[in-house]
Amino acid sequence: MRILVMSDIHANYTALQAVLKDAGAADETWCLGDLVGYGPDPNAVVEEVREIKNLTCLMGNHDVALTGGISMETFNGEAKRALLYHEKVLSPANLDFIRSLPSAVKVRGEATLAHGSPRDPLWEYILNSMIASLNFDHFETPWCFVGHSHVQCSFTQKEKGTRVVVQQTAPNVAIQLAPKMILNPGSVGQPRDRDSRAAYAIYDSEARTWTPRRVPYNIAEVQKRIREAGLPEKHAARIAAGW
């Protein structure tokens, strides 16, 4: 099957539209969480995601906070400010959809899905080989797909207990999957790997390949909506530079 894997949309509807158009037809879509937070379009994003067929979608930490499962005080002031705005404008139906999403890991075929990490699905960032090495024993499948860090990358354990190879993956270069790997499709709505283009990946479950993808979108349009909503200027600035 051809599976669209995406994460961390963060209320950026324009970026989500670009990803869905660029990805084309998919047999399934797996979203690794954080539909809300930071961006100006929480309702449009949730409504678009709700319409996706054959969807598996997880909660991210921002999603959980919006439903009251995590205190907003755990977020920095700018992130909290965006969540309070989303809490104010999100429709009851869209909030109910977010509440219906699981916050625990999910297994789909040969892949384990988590927002943060398999050992801490909501909060842990897998950003280096040390943290990755601590997570390989926490999933049984050959590979695990995670989001949260907003960095498109992979972590490969050659043999159990050996060193972990970290790689910032290249767009449009297919990776042949082999046990054991942790892969991150990057962020749709707020990339943090110095590439401002929306990030996602295509997973072919039969060929066992993972292809990272990037697609440009109208960033200025989103920045305009961020400012009109009175959200932090930092959230407008960072999407243009990918940090």
Name the token pair of 165.
Answer: 């190879």
For 63-120, write each residue's pLDDT tens digit.
999 999 999 999 999 999 999 999 999 999 999 999 999 999 999 999 999 999 999 9
Distance between CA atoms of residues 73 and 236, nearest Å: 22
The vertex-145 CA angle with 219 and 199, nearest 5°, equals 15
Q: Which helix H or strand E contains 99, and what residues bound it?
A: helix 92-99
Domain edges within the chain: 2-241
- Of 28, 36, 29, the closest CA to residue 11 belongs to 36
Separation in Å, CA 123 to CA 13, 64, 107, 119: 24, 11, 19, 10
The C-alpha angle with vertex 231 and arms to 66 and 120, in degrees rounded to 5, equals 35
From the options 3.40.50.11260, 3.40.50.720, 3.60.21.10, 3.40.50.1860, give the CATH code of 2-241: 3.60.21.10
Instruction: Identify the pLDDT of residue 162.
Output: 73
Q: How far apart are CA 177 and CA 204, in angstroms?
A: 10
Structure confidence by residue, pLDDT tens digits, 153-203: 999 998 776 789 999 999 999 999 999 999 999 999 999 999 999 999 999
**What is the average pLDDT value for the chain, to the nearest integer?**
97
Q: Mean pLDDT, to the nearest integer, of 129-157? A: 97
The answer to pTM > 0.75 is yes
The strand pairing partners of 182, in sequence order, are 144, 155
